[in-house]
Amino acid sequence: MTQDPAASSRRSDAPIIEIRGLVNRFGDQLVHDGLDLDVRRGEILGVVGGSGTGKSVLMRSIIGLQKPEAGEINVLGEPMLDRDPDDPALLAVRKRWGILFQSGALFSTLTVSENVQVPLREYYPEMPRQLREEIAAYKILMTGLPDNAGPKFPSELSGGMKKRAGLARALALDPDLLFLDEPTAGLDPIGAAAFDEQTRELQQTLGLTIFLITHDLDTLHAICDRVAVIADHKVIAVGTIDELLALDHPWIQEYFNGPRGRIAHGQSRHPGRPVAGAPA
């Protein structure tokens, strides 16, 4: 590599997403109150919390679909809030993330392959059509869809295939950062495990950073490097599952040590790995 290693390591240390003092409110209902969170380069960060604690709102705030009341959000070193939406720096950040919504959010009037081509067409209109189609084709295969999925419409796909097609679209621009909103919800355990495996493999081969919202304890154990717990309008703890288990918070204990948590922990193929310098 041609780059200065010192500079490279300095950049690697900077978090890819940095959230400080985030406040979100819907009417009288306070969702986030001074929430802080860092997502480091190259990690899979799992975000957990009870229903209604604002996991999806957090994701929507980061990607700019929800305007927070106060706080600071930096993604890839760019401040995201209070900016002109057409700012080229913001556009450059948007090109470097991919988002998988909960139910895939595929465009229902387009086929799978057209769906995957939408970001390419939008951001790189000068790209030759043939290359664009080839890219769509290998992305579709890369996410584990069968080779006849290209011309199908979303309504013809099963839930798991919709998610894979959504993932293919999220990966269309070769992003550095991937947001997954409950990717295994609604999948059968085999499909969910396969999806986890696929996510891990893609993360390693493509060097992705993944922000993953999930309720699936198996996913947390299988692929997350660190887990952030949202409760009481804040991120109350971030760390490996083992680190979280050592904390004495009732919700965390209930969550990971409840009957489901214990089973997932016992069967875990990949127990939580400590990441250097993880804050308690």
Contact 33, 21 (CB under 8 A): no
211 vs 207: CA distance, rounded Å: 13
137 vs 142: CA distance, rounded Å: 9
Minimal distance, residue 223 CB to other proteins, in Å: 9
First to last CA, the chain: 34
Closer to other proteins by CB, 201 or 232: give it: 201
Contact 180, 211 (CB under 8 A): yes
Minimal distance, residue 209 CB to other proteins, in Å: 8
Minimal distance, residue 233 CB to other proteins, in Å: 30
Closer to other proteins by CB, 34 or 207: give it: 207
Q: Which residues of the chain form contacts with other proteins (CB under 8 A)? A: 1-3, 7-9, 11-12, 14, 16, 40-43, 76-77, 92, 95-96, 108-109, 111, 113, 124, 127-128, 131, 133-142, 147-148, 150-151, 154-155, 173-174, 176, 200, 204-207, 209, 225, 269-270, 273, 275-276
- B/e letters for 145-176, b = 16+ CB within 10 Å, e = fewer, are beeebbebebeebeebbbbbbbbbbbbbbebb
Closer to other proteins by CB, 2 or 29: give it: 2
Closer to other proteins by CB, 5 or 250: give it: 5
CA angle 147, 128, 110 (to 5 degrees): 50
Minimal distance, residue 211 CB to other proteins, in Å: 15
The length of the chain is 280
> Where does 142-216 show beta strands of DSSP type E?
177-181, 209-213
Minimal distance, residue 208 CB to other proteins, in Å: 8
- φ and ψ at residue 165, rounded to 5 degrees: -65, -40
Minimal distance, residue 243 CB to other proteins, in Å: 16
* Look-up of token digits 């679209």: 169
Closer to other proteins by CB, 105 or 247: give it: 105
Closer to other proteins by CB, 35 or 112: give it: 112
Of 160, 111, 120, 169, the C-alpha closest to 140 is: 169
Minimal distance, residue 113 CB to other proteins, in Å: 4
Which are the contacts of 190, defined by CB distance < 8 A and separation ≥ 6? none
Closer to other proteins by CB, 137 or 193: give it: 137
